[in-house]
Amino acid sequence: MLLYFAMVICGISLLVWSADRFTDGAAAIARNMGISPLIVGLTIVAMGSSAPEVLVSLNSALKGTPGLAIGNAIGSNIANIAMVLGISALVSPLRVQSETLKREIPILFGFMILAFALLVDLRLSFIDGLILVTSLGGYLLWLTKAAAATRTKPDLMLTEIVDELPDEMPTGKAVFWLIVGLILLQMSSNILVLGATNIAHYYHVSDFIIGITVIAVGTSLPELAASVTGVLKGEHELAIGNVIGSNIFNLLAVLGIPGLINGAILEPEVLHLDYALMFGLTVVVSIMAWGRKNSPGEITRLEGGILLTCFIAYQTYQLVLNS
């Protein structure tokens, strides 16, 4: 059993590190090809932050444990909202002034409603997965066009995204890190899924529970690191933007992949408790971030503490209830 826990810890650590290397390499290659830094930041870097969840979802589905992938998708979104934003707001109150960010929030709600409509029959089918993944393609296309259209219109969040891009590097070095990162992502996600699955079997809990607790927290570490770093630099919009972008990718890619590969059957509690909590927390954070008519939105330290407390309570409930 100690070996399985070691596999989970090593898998998460290597997954986070390799995701950074993969993203740096991919972003550098795109920039060297002449692609706009803003488009690189909004697409490649955003996808890179969700690479751990995507690879875990892929390997979970291939190994016949789609519940782990579904738990990871929903659990990571809960962790991003309650843990990542909660801790970030405790470090420094999060002020929101970006019009781009406020445009992204309704899009996130639209995709949450879409995913719920597809899962309401408690089945994740091939068609459901296809709709979700196709929607991701449409979202990326829209994001690219929107970025191109706003190049001449400065926006605080867009400026922060460009400022946070990885350093430029020669194409040869970028290709090296892209390949190394991709290989290690695959290896580390395999190690993580194998360790987590064996832990679930040992304690007689479902793969979904392991995915929504241990794996979700582990794969949300890149978002936590990026958001806290952004807050310390005063880039509050970037901190919240990372969470919104990651949650969209989780709903469309991480949730869609197991549907494309082998499908899954959901327990009613997944929608009644876990999905409902994810939706409710998103509503609360959106109200905080939106602000009033003549003042910017803000997530205060008190509100951050409430979010983090909700996350700890939820994780404790899941682990105690299913132990």
Instruction: State pLDDT tens for residues 119-137.
Output: 999 999 999 999 999 999 9
The per-residue pLDDT for 302 is 93
Domain membership of residue 20 (yes or no) is no
Q: What is the CATH number of the domain that holds 99?
A: 1.20.1420.30
Question: Tokens representing 67?
Answer: 């519940």
Give the C-alpha separation, 260 to 129, whole Å. 5
Domain membership of residue 70 (yes or no) is yes
Domain membership of residue 247 (yes or no) is yes
Domain count, the chain: 1
Average pLDDT value for residue range 82-92? 92
| Inter-residue contact 65 to 197 (CB < 8 Å) | yes
Domain membership of residue 27 (yes or no) is no
The per-residue pLDDT for 162 is 57
**Up-side HSE of residue 310: CA atoms within 13 Å toward CB?**
23
- Which of the residue ranges 4-8, 152-156, 162-166, 293-297 has the most confident prediction, judged by mean pLDDT? 4-8
Domain membership of residue 72 (yes or no) is yes
Domain membership of residue 275 (yes or no) is yes
List the domain range (segments joined by +) for residue 265. Answer: 50-157+187-321
Give the C-alpha separation, 196 to 189, whole Å. 10
Higher pLDDT, 202 or 107: 107
Domain membership of residue 4 (yes or no) is no
Domain membership of residue 25 (yes or no) is no
Note the pTM of the prediction, 2 decimals. Answer: 0.86
Higher pLDDT, 304 or 189: 304
How confident is the model over 224-273, as pLDDT tens digits? Answer: 887 887 788 777 777 787 788 889 989 999 999 999 998 899 999 999 99
CA angle 211, 213, 214 (to 5 degrees): 80
Amino acid at 185: L
Which residue intervals of the chain are DSSP H helices?
A: 2-32, 37-40, 46-49, 51-62, 66-78, 85-91, 99-119, 126-149, 156-163, 171-202, 207-210, 216-219, 221-232, 236-249, 256-261, 268-269, 276-290, 301-321
